[in-house]
Chains A and B, each alone.
Chain A
Amino acid sequence: MIARRARLVLAVVLLAAAPAAGAGLSAQTLFRSAGIRDVTVSPSGRWALAHGVKGDAHGLLAQKLGSGRVTPVLAAPQAIHGVHWIGPDTFLVLFADGWRSALIGRLHERDGEVRLAQRTLQAPGGLVDPLPLVDDTLVWEFEYEGRNSVHRVRIADLADFRDADRTAWGRVHLGETLATIRGSARHWIVDRHGAPRAALREEDGTSEILVREADADDFHTAYRFEATGDAIVPISTTPDGRRLWVLAYGGHDTLGIHTFDAASAELGPRVFGREDVDVDDAVVDPIHGELVAAVYEDAGERRYHYLDGPTNADLHALRETFPTESLAIVSRSADRQVYVLFVSGPTNPGAYYLRNAATGETTLVARMAETVDTEALADAETLVVEREDGARIEAFLTLPRTAGEAPAPLVVYPHGGPIRVRDRRDYDEFIQYLASWGFAVLQVNYRGSSGYGRRFEEAGHRQWGRGIEDDIDAAVARAVARPDVDEERLCVVGGSYGGFSALTGILRHPARYRCAVTINGVTDVPLMFETSDFAEHEHARARFAEVVGDPETEREHLLEISPAYHVDRMQTPVFVVWGTEDRRVDPEHAHRLLLMLETLGKPHRALEVRGAAHGFTPRQWIPVARALRHFLTEHLLPGQPFVPDPDTPPETGFVALPPVEW
């Protein structure tokens, strides 16, 4: 049962942001909406803590469960990167300022008021394990001069860290040193006694799983791999501490969860997996350190399969209330009686609910994008296209709410990558922005996209401008065959490989598209091997050559598929967008395309985004989205005047959590 009072409180805020009839949503509202970014419950089960964002301001709100009151407890001095419970009522805030700043906070009550005792710290390294059942202690890692060391540290000592705590040999002398390895490690696995048991080390394209027995001092290499197909990624130790849970193929086409015996370096049987989709992530309970769920995509929806029956049954029951949305448990008390449920979908940017497992009572407490009117959002449906070679292509079509009145113009929006990247049928600010202004949007998980198994991913190798584009064409054909999509009004928009795809699309089909947009798009494929950030690493260059072709021996072919060399054949207006600080697809790609467009007198527009890297921040997206909508309106809605975004209603602050009164 969802508490009604909470929903009424939020509805007042949402109605205030509803657009006027005939107008779409504001890019400012979609990309920079105030809201709650994260809600967690303390290990003690006494507190709920929310991380709120409004513009550039971040803060924390707390409520003592059952008290009936919500209290702002922290106005953060800078952006918050993450919040972690490190004790029954104590949490650690990591800031995103690049200066290794953090804050320890302990919630308590005094005179009926919620109080926060806090202390700041500034230390290099990072959090490995919060050890929330051990108060005032956590596991922290340091990297100095080619060595990675892990320490069990008292928080007070970490707060007083100084460079004097380093020894002359580049090791850190702080707390109890639990492990030291050469190089850089990630995915540290710590058992429930606080001892590091495994880590993943990567160097020059080779990955190693390092393990240590419970009673041993040193780590040794249990497994080494280079190719993705042999990858084994550690998740956590098994409950008996003798083996590891890992993500691996294990002879299957898809990734699944297996056990791994470090002593014998043998992969155990599959514990959970699917034959049609990859398990691409796993959830580890941060309190108990146990593997609790496998995560995968099913028809574009993110699914969480909990390995314990009661939790799975509980989520299954909630499906009646949330039939089409993704459900995930993002935080639980130590006794697992209280948990935070995160619900999301194409028309739901994200909502947090507190659930009492004993009573089943579920209370909506916050939304991620408070000022976005979810009633105005457009839903997406999944299309499946079977190709002649047997490949099964999933695509997601978002239709504007006006599509029933007349066929909608279509924006084809291929994702970047192209390998090991994918689209999801989920909330996307740019897609909702376009849909709110009357455009349908088609996303395509063409061959090479992640999540559909190893064969499907490898089918995208060496298919730049070929098989990948054939898959996109097949999905477009499926979409335009519908009566609610206007096949005479199409544009193609994409970023990175998607930008390459957009340009390739107008070359392959000069009469199909009315316009094309490339955002940080690849225009000269051999240039990637000289200017991209990965080009400085030999193993990364070799990997890219495997996927796209070798410029040493196949330069002619790579130039043949490079749009910058075929501008003479372009007849379709092009909008070129690029970030000046893009290190993945150097701005030279955009400049080469523009120089040719200008020289050959082709219709085009240009937008340089100063300070932007390969991915745009929400703030950078706003003027880009507006400029693209202007361009799309000109070509897909001819005769209709461009209507500027509506004014964004003023925001008054974080929406406080509705109090939970169990």
Chain B
Amino acid sequence: MGHRRRGLSLLAALSALLALGCASAIRPLDPAVPQVLAEDEGLLVLHIDTDVPLAALVSTRGTAAEGMPRGHHVWLVRAAAGSYRWREIQVSTAAGRFHRERLRGEEATRFEVVAGHVNYPGALVVRGAPAGGATGPLRVRTLDRAAMAVRRLREDHAALLTRYPLRDAGDTPDTFLQHYTRAREATR
């Protein structure tokens, strides 16, 4: 019995290490420190609109965000350059538990982080079961709400938005960000 318990503990520790390794591609900004990106790093806009509390948003390269209440959230994180896909949403339930929802098909949005840019993958819109419960089938869509995100981010990160160019990170035919960027450059 003792040997088996030690084995499980080692397995748990290894999983935690692996999880940390998975999360290291995406890191929060430290507001106390001037942000200078590494050569292989970009900024990623996390834009989430949810009517259920979310425990976590997980990508193929780690956890992007944790502990989001219902509502509209827009913020910046640092992210290693490369390809990503939204893999899983963890929905908070009662008593501190969460329910895993694997994202598939169109829900599992792919996006590319390019170093030295502010990368916008779209707004993840999460809608819970009709009665607004925290469990049950979710509807997840990605919508291009780039202007909404930029107007929010300008309040706290005007300098970063000026220093690093904006780009659409997802596969979208939408050209608004390019149009806005050109207009902004022309006014400088």
- Chain A residues with CB under 8 Å of chain B are 524, 526-527, 530-531, 536, 551, 555, 559, 564-565, 567-568, 586-588, 591-592, 594-596, 598-601
Contacts and interface: CB of A to CB of B under 8 A. Distances in A.
A530 B147 contact: no
A526 B174 contact: yes
B145 A594 contact: no
Interface of B: 141, 143-148, 150-151, 172-176, 179-180, 183-184, 187
B145 A586 contact: yes
A524 B176 CA distance: 9
Given A530-B174, A559-B175, A565-B179, A595 B145 contact: no
A595 B144 contact: no
Nearest to B122: A530
A513 to B, nearest CB: 23
B89 to A, nearest CB: 19
Contacts of B143: 530-531, 586, 588
9 contacts: A527-B174, A530-B144, A530-B174, A531-B144, A531-B145, A587-B148, A592-B180, A598-B151, A599-B183
Contacts of B147: 588, 591-592, 594-595
Contacts of A526: 173-174
Contacts of B150: 595
B102 to A, nearest CB: 20
A526 B176 CA distance: 10
Nearest to B183: A599
Contacts of B151: 591, 594-595, 598
6 smallest beta-carbon distances between A and B, as pairs: A591-B147, A592-B147, A591-B148, A595-B147, A588-B145, A531-B143
Nearest to A589: B147
B136 to A, nearest CB: 16
A564 B146 CA distance: 13
Contacts of A527: 144, 174, 176
B186 to A, nearest CB: 9
A536 B139 CA distance: 11
Contact of A588 (B148, B175, B179): B148
Nearest to B144: A530
A565 B151 CA distance: 17
Contacts of B146: 588
B176 A600 contact: no
Given A559-B175, A592-B180, 20 more contacts: A527-B174, A530-B144, A530-B174, A531-B143, A531-B144, A564-B179, A567-B183, A568-B183, A586-B143, A588-B144, A588-B146, A591-B147, A591-B151, A592-B176, A594-B151, A596-B183, A599-B183, A600-B183, A600-B187, A601-B187
Nearest to A595: B147
A587 B47 CA distance: 14
Contacts of A531: 143-145
Contacts of B175: 559
Nearest to B148: A591
A408 to B, nearest CB: 37
A527 B184 CA distance: 21
A591 B180 CA distance: 12
Contacts of A595: 147, 150-151, 180
Contacts of B172: 530
A558 to B, nearest CB: 11
Contact of B173 (A555, A568, A588): A555
B144 A596 contact: no
A524 B174 CA distance: 10
Contacts of B183: 567-568, 596, 599-600
Contacts of B144: 527, 530-531, 588
Contacts of A536: 141
Given A596-B180, A599-B180, A599-B183, A591 B173 contact: no
Nearest to A529: B173
A564 B176 contact: yes
B100 to A, nearest CB: 24
B51 to A, nearest CB: 10
A477 B167 CA distance: 45
Contacts of A567: 183
A530 B176 CA distance: 13
A599 B179 contact: no
B180 to A, nearest CB: 6
A587 B49 CA distance: 12
Looking at B143, B147, B148, which has the most chain A CB atoms within 10 Å of its CB? B147
Contacts of A592: 147, 176, 180
Contacts of A598: 151
Contacts of B173: 526, 551, 555
A360 B148 CA distance: 62
Contact of B184 (A524, A594, A599): A599
A568 B182 CA distance: 12
A598 B187 CA distance: 11
Looking at B141, B145, B176, B183, which has the most chain A CB atoms within 10 Å of its CB? B176
